[in-house]
Amino acid sequence: MATNNVFGDMLRRLRVKYNKRLSDAAASINVSLVHVSDVERGKRNPFRSDQIGLLGIELGFSNSELRELKEAAMMVRGTVIESTRPAQAKAAYSLARMWDSLTDQQLNEIRRVVRDEESE
């Protein structure tokens, strides 16, 4: 588990934004209130992708908020959430392995590609 609490902090922020209680989040994915609290405080790993999807639906998160929450889970877990295409997963893992050695120019190019894809 990551030492920072990116996922838990984001989950708490979104839950509060939509005026939802810990019990609302817990009921939406059939876990205990204590479990949700532990995740928000970084005491447990982020929820699985399917659980995050259910949370998003039940608590009313936007698609972009849901995507950000799933990305935060990936960061904390150090994994790539399931991909429908093996080539996507392979590319993501390759990028993750070399992330620290990317130049500013390479990072800017990655940002440009992502921005272009999101605007389509």
Residues 52, 73 contacting (CB under 8 angstroms): yes
**Residues 55 and 71 occupy one common structural domain:** yes
**Residues 67 and 99 occupy one common structural domain:** no
Cα 98 from Cα 43, distance rounded (Å): 29
**Residues 46 and 101 occupy one common structural domain:** no
- Tens of pLDDT, residue by residue over 29-47, are 999 999 999 999 999 999 9
Domain span holding position 22:
1-80
- Tens of pLDDT, residue by residue over 37-79, are 999 999 999 998 889 999 999 999 998 898 888 888 887 777 6
**Residues 11 and 33 occupy one common structural domain:** yes
- Tens of pLDDT, residue by residue over 96-111, are 778 888 899 999 998 8
Which amino acid makes up residue 10?
M
**Residues 13 and 54 occupy one common structural domain:** yes
Question: 29 by DSSP, 3-state: which?
Answer: helix
- Tens of pLDDT, residue by residue over 79-97, are 665 555 677 767 776 777 7
**pLDDT value of residue 49:** 85
Give the CA count within 13 Å in the CB-facing half-sphere of 118.
10
**Residues 70 and 116 occupy one common structural domain:** no
